[in-house]
Amino acid sequence: MAKKPTDWRKRFGAAKPPHIVMLHSDFAGVKAGTTMLISSPGDVATYLAKIPKGETRTIARLRNELARKAGAQSMCPVTTAIYLRVVAEVSLRDLEEGKRIEEVVPFWRVVTPESKVAQKLSCGPDHVAHLIALDLGQPQ
């Protein structure tokens, strides 16, 4: 039986609200005793939407800024990658459905073609590079 395609909008809306946890053991490179933000696709989308056209941020910077804003020492690297993918897939679907690039969440301002997130996207890393070029106003 074929796997049913993921409904990214449903995953976006079904995520739990952001919350902070105290790590009791090391997890994904974050040390025990650290307060860690488990964010949400909505918070990640809001962050991405505020990055000015033509600018970029690293995933590490996104994690640091959202963690500090929430009063945590760190942000979960695992859920960050998952939520970046969810936001990106929703944006890609919006583009497929006819929205203009200016009307979607610009995930390419954080997700680079070389990133593990880009490798997993339905569009592939080459299309991420294309979106970056469009965002920077470079000829195709």
What average pLDDT is seen over the chain? 93
| pTM: predicted TM-score of the whole model, two decimal places | 0.92
Q: How far apart are CA 63 and CA 39, in angstroms?
A: 9
Asked if residue 3 belongs to a domain, the reply is no
Asked if residue 2 belongs to a domain, the reply is no
Do β-strands 19-22 and 35-38 pair in parallel, antiparallel, or remain unpaired?
Answer: antiparallel
Q: How far apart are CA 20 and CA 11, in angstroms?
A: 20
Task: Tell which wins on pLDDT, 90 or 6.
Answer: 90
Asked if residue 102 belongs to a domain, the reply is yes
pLDDT at 54: 87
Is the pLDDT at 5 greater than 80? The verdict is no
pLDDT, average across residues 43-53: 96
Q: How far apart are CA 104 and CA 90, in angstroms?
A: 9
Instruction: Choose among 52, 47, 41: nearest CA to 81.
Output: 41
pLDDT, average across residues 11-28: 93
Give the domain extent around 125: 8-135
Asked if residue 77 belongs to a domain, the reply is yes
Asked if residue 140 belongs to a domain, the reply is no
Asked if residue 40 belongs to a domain, the reply is yes
Task: Tell which wins on pLDDT, 76 or 1.
Answer: 76
For residue 89, which amino acid is it?
A: E
